[in-house]
Each structure stands twice: as structure tokens, then as C-alpha cells.
């Protein structure tokens, strides 16, 4: 099973859930990053109103983050490669009479092109799902190509420092790829050392405007989570990037 099929299956298995239950979960799980986006818009995009903003959510899933921003009046486009995620996202937006543009695309594909340029591009946990260097580079070029010159890219992603705690059922290889056992080993995350992530972003043509550590995570619920030293858990960073002007 490919990673795309895995995501599609997991969104599909949620098809029967009630809309209010799904809405509550989607809104709650993206609230923290939405607040960060609000803070960063005030700091770095103060000359434009939310009502005039074009926002692109990459790897949107059901578009929870985009929904927070649609509520502020922005024009939101959702991109994901899972048709079920996009269909569920469209229904959640419709509950509040929003009509996002919805695009099904693999963001790592070099031929993908999107119809617009955006003031704000957001990524909630997509980047660490992209495994190989060429895929990640291609994705970052897609972001660059569709960001307005004065636009900002806000992302939350996993990083690690030093040694990483790996629970049963996972394996972490020397290329920083996390593998999970689903009957066979599958690559599920690329968790770079924080300094390597900064280097990658620089080489892809971005300036890092704001970079903050936000939390430490486990990959799976773990009974002794509280006893694991936080420095060997994967960390999450929130960051704001701008295009280097060439």
C-alpha cells in the first residue's frame, strides 16, 4: 500500500462520522497553529486585511486550519492528494457557507501548478510526511512559485535534536526517515535535525523570519511517555518563511 492509499483509507474510514463531531475535532486540533498564524499575520503581513487575503493550505486534510482563516474572511484553497479528506473538508466548510477552492494534487509532483499566487501559504504537518530529498525540494519549489513576493509561508513540522527515542513498531534510519510496521516496513516521516531543516529551507530559496520550538511529541500514545526525557522526543517547530528575492 502506498502512503497515498494509506491516507485515503484512513480518511475514508471516517466517512460515517457525524459532521458536528468531525467539525469539533478538526477545529480543536488546528486551533493552536491558527492562533500562531494570527499572531504572524499581525507581525509580518500587517498591511493587508484578512478579507483581502488569498490563503493556500497545503496537505490540508479536512482543512481545519484553513477553516479558521476562512472565518476571518480570507479566500481559502485546500490542496491534498486524498479525495476523501478534500470531500470531508468541503462539507465542513459548507456547514458555515464557505466555498473553498479544492484541488486534488500530489504536492511533490514537479508538474503540479496551482491557479494563483497567495499572500499566505500554510502547512500543518505536511512537510514531515514528505520523505525523499527530491520530493521535499519539489514541494518547497511549489510553495515558492505560488507565494507572492511579500507573502509568508507558515508551517508546523517535526524535528529532532541529538538522539531520538523510538518506540516499538518504529525504526529510524540514518537518513532521518521514520519507518512504521504495517505488516511490512513503510516510510512514514522524515524528521530532520533542526539545523539540517534550516539548511534545507535556505537551499530551497527561503529566508527564515521566525522559528520557534513549540512542543515535544511521541509518535504513538505511550504509557511511560512522561518518563521519557524530552530532549530525545521529536520536537515540533513553528516557523515563518519568506522567499529570498533573487
Ligand X SMILES: C[S@@+](CC[C@H](N)C(=O)[O-])C[C@H]1O[C@@H](n2cnc3c(N)ncnc32)[C@H](O)[C@@H]1O
Residue 216 makes contact with ligand X by CB under 6 A:
no
Shortest Cβ distance from residue 135 to ligand X (Å)?
A: 7
> Which residue, among 156, 155, 154, 144, has the nearest Cα to 244 in the 3D structure?
144
Question: 3-state DSSP call for residue 12?
Answer: helix
Site for ligand X in 9-68 (CB under 6 A): 29-30, 59-61, 64
Site string for ligand X, 77-96 (x = CB under 6 A): ---xxx--x-----------
Contact pick of 41, 54, 68, 125 for ligand X (by CB under 6 A):
125
Which cell numbers hold the place of 75? 479566500
- Contact at 8 Å (CB) between 165 and 226? no
Subset of residues 158 to 187 that bind ligand X, contact rule: CB under 6 A: none
Name 216's bridge partners.
Answer: 235
Does position 151 bind ligand X by CB under 6 A? no
Report the residue number, 122 or 240, with the smaller CB distance to ligand X. 122
For ligand X, which residue of 74, 88, 108, 157 counts as binding (CB under 6 A)?
Answer: 108
What angle do the packed helices 64-71 and 19-44 form, to 10 degrees?
60
Taking a C-beta distance cutoff of 8 angstroms, is the pair 198, 161 a contact?
no
Q: How far is the CB of 3 from ligand X (least distance, A)?
A: 6
Report residue 27 as a C-alpha cell.
477545529
Is 129 among the residues that bind ligand X (CB under 6 A)? yes
Contact 45, 120 (CB under 8 A): yes
- Please identify, using beta-carbon distances, which residue of 59 and 100 lies nearer to ligand X: 59
Neighbours of 109 (CB within 10 A): 13
Q: Binding residues for ligand X, per CB under 6 A? A: 7, 29-30, 59-61, 64, 80-82, 85, 106-108, 124-126, 129
Amino acid at each position: 500500500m502506498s502512503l497515498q492509499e494509506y491516507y485515503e483509507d484512513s480518511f475514508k474510514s471516517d466517512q460515517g462520522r457525524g459532521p458536528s463531531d468531525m467539525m469539533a475535532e478538526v477545529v480543536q486540533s488546528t486551533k493552536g497553529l491558527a492562533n500562531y498564524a494570527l499572531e504572524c499575520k499581525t507581525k509580518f503581513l500587517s498591511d493587508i486585511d484578512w478579507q483581502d487575503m488569498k490563503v493556500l493550505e497545503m496537505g490540508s486534510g479536512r482543512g481545519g486550519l484553513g477553516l479558521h482563516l476562512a472565518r476571518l474572511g480570507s479566500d481559502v484553497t485546500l490542496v491534498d492528494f486524498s479525495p476523501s479528506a478534500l470531500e470531508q473538508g468541503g462539507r465542513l466548510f459548507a456547514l458555515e457557507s464557505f466555498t473553498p477552492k479544492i484541488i486534488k494534487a500530489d504536492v511533490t509532483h514537479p508538474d503540479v501548478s496551482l491557479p494563483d499566487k497567495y499572500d499566505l501559504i500554510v502547512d500543518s504537518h505536511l512537510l514531515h510526511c514528505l520523505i525523499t530529498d527530491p520530493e521535499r525540494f519539489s514541494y518547497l519549489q511549489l510553495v515558492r512559485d505560488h507565494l507572492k513576493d511579500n507573502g509568508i509561508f507558515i508551517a508546523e513540522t517535526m524535528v529532532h535534536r541529538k538522539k531520538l527515542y523510538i518506540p516499538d513498531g518504529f525504526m529510524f534510519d540514518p537518513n532521518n526517515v521514520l519507518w512504521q510496521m504495517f505488516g511490512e516496513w513503510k516510510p512514514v516521516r522524515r524528521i530532520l535535525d533542526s539545523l539540517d531543516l534550516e539548511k534545507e529551507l535556505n537551499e530551497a530559496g527561503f529566508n527564515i523570519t521566525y522559528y520557534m520550538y513549540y512542543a515535544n511529541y511521541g509518535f504513538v500514545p505511550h504509557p511511560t511517555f512522561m518518563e521519557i526525557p524530552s530532549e530525545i522526543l521529536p520536537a515540533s517547530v513553528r516557523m515563518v518563511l519568506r522567499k529570498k528575492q533573487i
